[in-house]
Amino acid sequence: MKKPWAGRFAQKTSGAVESFTESISFDRKLWKHDIAGSIAHAKMLAKQRIITAKESAAIIAGLSATAEAISSGKFRFSPELEDIHMNIESSLTERIGEPGRKLHTARSRNDQVALDLRLYLREQMQDIISLIRKLQKMFMMIAERHQDTVMPGYTHLQRAQPVLLAHHLLAYVEMFQRDRERFRDCMQRTDTCPLGSCALAGTSLPTDRAYTAKLLGFSKISGNSIDAVSDRDFALEFLSCAAIAMMHLSRLAEELILWSTEEFRFLEISDRFTTGSSIMPQKKNPDVAELMRGKTGRVYGNLMALLTLMKGLPLAYNRDMQEDKLPVFDSAETLTGCLSVLLEMLKEVKFNTARLRETAAGGYATATDIAEYLVRKGIPFRSAHEITGRIVLYCISRNIPLTGLSLQELRTFSAALTEDILEILDPVSSVKARSSFGGTSPSEVKRQLRHYRNLLK
């Protein structure tokens, strides 16, 4: 098959080289974006009278027919033509003849692929932002149902203080809000049209880059043609956003895994989202959450792969950059897949509220309440901390909870402890007292819910 650049070469390309350099096996994913860019380019060429209106119409009709063939599965992708750009252009020329050979006027595959990748990521990020918003709303819905469910809060995976389950769940809403904001910020820098930069130096032909950008829905055009074809910052930023979002999903997955164990028994994952063992009949394994946790490492690797790919490249385009697409495609599909399955799985998670309340009462979780009680009585916090620590040690040595202490026993540690101390040792009272802004008290959780409802409208 004749190459589009064959004029310069006296020998045919080695078959081994064709196999080694082809990208059509993966960049065919960009066909819709490539055709959209080509249609806009053809319209611009006609507007600027670089080609005739008749030629532009023939090109657009040919590209539409090619799109239909690809969509219906009737198109044959050829590795000999290397990439999606040349496969589509070759098909166009076969369909409409000479006008098809004019489409590549005033552009290069260098600016073409930069455009396609931006169009692809713009579309992917819109979907991801929408999925994250749905996930936030899912957490909100579950939190609404558990505004009265007390559970143990943890630091260092050790019981720390009682909190509301709703408060714990809203922490993820806050996390995912940052993810949405990061992707929206990334969208702004992806929203730049590089088409018309050509190979690296622009063109001597009277093109209208702003018109092409407008047709494709871009708000701005790239300012430097060398940077336009060699920039992959937007892809790196996307991979960074994806890696951080996957980190959040992985932390959530870890809690789902831990909380579903017999040791915790805080929740149960539906049978529909778990698997069994090939040898142990009793097992119910949280494989979906475990895979989510595992896939996070792959998304991290994709970010590192592209950073490493770009770090030593001179300006402008280099063939190394063909390798930018696989990490981007994989991360976009992995994150989208994880968000989609998580949305379905969370619908059927059941929380063991009795177990959560029971566990919240253990582990001396209201010790901080004693220390803060003493502070309100005028005792310096460090002294209050030490007094409370001695109370806890006393309880540990006798294997009794804080609520098992009598007022007489408590007063042996400090005369500032009076009868009202007994009220604050209950986890429910502890939670109600945490009314500082952003805290876990019922009133604050209600305020947070109102805030996020407004944010997600």
Q: What is the pLDDT, as a whole number, of residue 21? A: 82
Query: What domains can be seen in the chain, in order of their start residue?
Result: 6-105 (1.10.275.10), 110-357 (1.20.200.10), 363-455 (1.10.40.30)
The residues that bridge with 154 in the sheet, in sequence order, are 159
Dihedral of CA atoms 51, 54, 59, 64 in degrees, nearest 10, equals: 150
Distance CA 376, CA 407 (A): 18
- What pTM does this model have? 0.94
Distance CA 325, CA 304 (A): 14
Active-site amino acid positions: 156, 277
14: DSSP letter:
P
Q: What is the pLDDT, as a whole number, of residue 1? A: 67
Residue reference for tokens 């909380």:
259
- Contact between 110 and 198 under an 8 Å Cβ cutoff? The reply is yes
Q: What is the pLDDT, as a whole number, of residue 5? A: 63
Residues of the chain under the 70 pLDDT cut = 1-2, 5
Q: Say which amino acid occupies 229.
A: V
- Contact between 243 and 335 under an 8 Å Cβ cutoff? The reply is no
Segments in 262-324 forming alpha helices (H): 287-310
Of the candidates 392, 427, 439, 457, which has an alpha carbon nearest to the alpha carbon of residue 161? Answer: 427
Q: What is the pLDDT, as a whole number, of residue 17? A: 84
3-state secondary structure of 385: helix
